[in-house]
């Protein structure tokens, strides 16, 4: 798969023999043969990381979605870091850096999440300017297939339903407007009734091809990187020099969860009830559940516990807080025996001594609560009905609630960001999208600090005014 030479320094057209460009695919489903040198690997990887970082930032600063000007900026970035599209070296550079970065990003969950997320954005941008049907053939490897003419005829009524409910036109009732995919592979579309199910196949209308491609691609990357991880030891022995170079390729840290690991500010347990009113919804839900039922299941304790640690609650304060919250059901000595260990563990005082970082949105969204007792995870992934009920319960007005619920259907973090803006009216500090509950909290803190300062100023002003009046 990989041949390295130390002589070459630049990628030139005549040097990329052995490279089969017909395998080029925007989802990197096949690993081509690379012939390149170590410096190339390092440079292309660094360029790709920068490119991905820029794309993530571009997206974060324009959370509302795609526009033509965004696409232009995006293509500027791709050309800058990968080269012009038509140029054969672009393909090599693109594929080489992609496959190398898989290896570089496979070790930690955080790196992997960031990489998959950024790569999915890259694909999304690419798809937005391409005719999707030209790409669909690439997905036969993922078990997608076209309908047979017989299926097309037998399922006429079902297909009409799909066209009708996806705002399609009569002309869309065409065999090429549909693909069938194993239903297990399209969970979101099944959940929301956007597909017709037939004998284990989900029949998908073309309106959903794009989000499906993205989703399939993410799953595929997840799977592929897991494989790379398992194979890493062998890779290291086989290509020690490359492994060494890849060790130096790191993810840019912008809002790194580690930032929240140690917090200089100190929060007392008595402040939590008041503070919880402006917590992100996931934490608010867990807090409310904890207070009303006097319990929180294991995953919830971990997610809420590390969050509280991240906002500056010391271990002693935390133990006091949890003991008190559990006191409805558990005596003090039972708490010390059954639960205290976990919290000390979270703070690195037990077990392997690893201090646990607060969970990012990415990580929280991967946890799948089961059962009504479990309230961890991301509430924006709930059924609309349940989410709506909770938001209204928290006193968010119906129109804003509607707004948030609608956003949650496509972009959970956008919904979370909308919730932030509701809790912090006229906020002008947060411009991007929430990607971490502790980021939410820090932003909230900044907001209230600014308000405090404003109030102080206006108080001082009014004092001065009073003085003036006296002088008069």
Does 183 participate in binding another protein (rule CB under 8 A)? yes
* Closer of 3 and 386 to another protein (Cβ): 386
- Among positions 331-360, residues that touch another protein (CB under 8 A) are 338
Report the distance separating Cα 196 and Cα 209, nearest Å.
14
Phi, psi of 4 (to 5 degrees): -115, 145
Query: Distance from CA of residue 252 to its chain's centroid?
Result: 15
Does 198 participate in binding another protein (rule CB under 8 A)? yes
Residue 199 beta carbon to another protein: minimum distance, rounded to whole angstroms: 4
Q: Would you give the binding string for another protein spanning residues 128-167, x where CB under 8 A is met? A: -----------------------------xx--x--xx--
* Closer of 172 and 317 to another protein (Cβ): 172
Does 197 participate in binding another protein (rule CB under 8 A)? yes
* Closer of 184 and 460 to another protein (Cβ): 184
Specify the stretch interacting with another protein by CB under 8 A; choose among 130-138, 235-243, 274-282, 366-374: 366-374
Collapsing DSSP to helix, strand or coil, 69 comes out as helix
Collapsing DSSP to helix, strand or coil, 339 comes out as coil
Does residue 368 contact residue 359 with C-beta atoms inside 8 Å? no
How many residues contact another protein, by CB under 8 A?
Answer: 26
Does residue 50 contact residue 85 with C-beta atoms inside 8 Å? no
Which residues have C-beta within 8 Å of that of residue 441, sequence separation ≥ 6?
Answer: 279, 280, 307, 310, 311
Q: Which residue bears the tokens 């949890």? A: 322
Does 64 participate in binding another protein (rule CB under 8 A)? no
Does 43 participate in binding another protein (rule CB under 8 A)? no
Q: Provide the 10 A C-beta neighbour count for residue 380.
A: 24
Specify the stretch interacting with another protein by CB under 8 A; choose among 228-236, 345-353, 367-375, 410-418: 367-375
Residue 348 beta carbon to another protein: minimum distance, rounded to whole angstroms: 21
Instruction: List C-alpha distances in Å: 76 to 63, 68, 84, 236, 439.
Output: 19, 12, 10, 35, 30
* Closer of 293 and 356 to another protein (Cβ): 293
Q: Would you give the binding string for another protein spanning residues 375-404, x where CB under 8 A is met? A: --------x---------------------
Q: Out of 87, 146, 295, 344, point to the residue binding another protein (CB under 8 A).
A: 295
Report the distance separating Cα 315 and Cα 436, nearest Å.
22
Number of residues that make up the chain: 472
* Closer of 130 and 165 to another protein (Cβ): 165
Biggest distance spanned by C-alpha atoms of the chain: 95
* Closer of 88 and 294 to another protein (Cβ): 294
Residue 173 beta carbon to another protein: minimum distance, rounded to whole angstroms: 15
Report the distance separating Cα 127 and Cα 214, nearest Å.
9
The CA R_g of the chain, rounded to the nearest whole Å, is 26
Does 370 participate in binding another protein (rule CB under 8 A)? yes
Q: Out of 22, 372, 425, 468, point to the residue binding another protein (CB under 8 A).
A: 372
- Pairing state between β 201-205 and 178-182: antiparallel
Q: Out of 18, 76, 143, 187, point to the residue binding another protein (CB under 8 A).
A: 187
The full DSSP string for 290-319 is HHHHS---HHHHHHHHHHHHHTTB-HHHHH
Residue 287 beta carbon to another protein: minimum distance, rounded to whole angstroms: 18
- Please report, as ranges, the residues that interact with another protein according to CB under 8 A: 157-158, 161, 164-165, 183-184, 187, 190-193, 196-200, 295, 297, 338, 368, 370-373, 383
């Amino acid at each position: 798969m990989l041949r390295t030479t130390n002589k070459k320094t630049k990628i030139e057209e005549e040097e990329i023999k052995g490279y089969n460009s017909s395998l080029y695919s925007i989802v990197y489903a096949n690993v081509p043969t690379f012939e390149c040198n170590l410096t190339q690997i390092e440079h292309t990887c660094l360029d790709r990381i920068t490119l991905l970082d820029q794309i993530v930032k571009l997206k974060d600063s324009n959370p509302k979605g795609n526009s033509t000007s965004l696409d232009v900026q995006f293509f500027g970035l791709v050309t800058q870091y990968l080269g012009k599209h038509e140029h054969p070296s672009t393909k090599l550079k693109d594929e080489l850096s992609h496959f190398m970065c898989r290896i570089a990003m496979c070790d930690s969950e955080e790196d992997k999440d960031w990489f998959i997320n950024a790569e999915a954005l890259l694909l999304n941008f690419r798809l937005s300017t391409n005719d999707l049907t030209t790409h669909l053939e690439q997905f036969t490897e993922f078990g997608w297939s076209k309908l047979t003419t017989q299926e097309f005829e037998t399922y006429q009524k079902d297909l009409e339903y799909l066209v009708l409910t996806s705002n399609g036109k009569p002309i869309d009732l065409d065999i090429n407007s549909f693909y069938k995919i194993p239903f297990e592979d399209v969970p979101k579309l099944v959940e929301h009734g956007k597909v017709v199910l037939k004998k284990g196949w989900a029949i998908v209308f073309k309106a959903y091809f794009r989000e499906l491609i993205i989703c399939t691609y993410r799953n595929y990357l997840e799977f592929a990187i897991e494989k790379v991880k398992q194979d890493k030891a062998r890779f290291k022995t086989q290509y020690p020099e490359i492994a060494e170079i890849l060790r130096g390729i790191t993810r840019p840290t912008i809002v790194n969860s580690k930032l929240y690991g140690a917090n200089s500010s100190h929060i007392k347990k008595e402040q939590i009830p008041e503070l919880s009113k402006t917590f992100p919804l996931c934490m608010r839900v867990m807090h409310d559940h904890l207070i009303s039922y006097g319990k929180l299941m294991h995953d919830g304790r971990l997610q809420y516990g590390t969050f509280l640690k991240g906002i500056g609650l010391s271990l002693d304060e935390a133990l006091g807080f949890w003991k008190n919250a559990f006191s409805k059901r558990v005596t003090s000595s039972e708490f010390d025996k059954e639960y205290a260990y976990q919290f000390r563990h979270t703070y690195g005082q037990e077990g392997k001594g690893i201090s646990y970082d607060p969970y990012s949105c990415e990580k929280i969204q991967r946890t799948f609560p089961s059962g009504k007792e479990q309230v961890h995870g991301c509430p924006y992934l709930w059924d609309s009905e349940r989410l709506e009920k909770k938001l209204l319960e928290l006193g968010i007005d119906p129109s804003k609630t509607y707004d948030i619920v609608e956003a949650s259907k496509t972009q959970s973090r956008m919904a979370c960001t909308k919730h932030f803006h509701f809790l912090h009216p006229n906020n002008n500090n947060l411009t991007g999208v929430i990607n971490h509950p502790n980021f939410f909290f820090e932003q909230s803190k900044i907001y209230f600090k600014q308000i405090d300062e404003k109030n102080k100023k206006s108080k001082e002003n009014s004092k001065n005014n009073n003085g003036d009046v006296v002088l008069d």
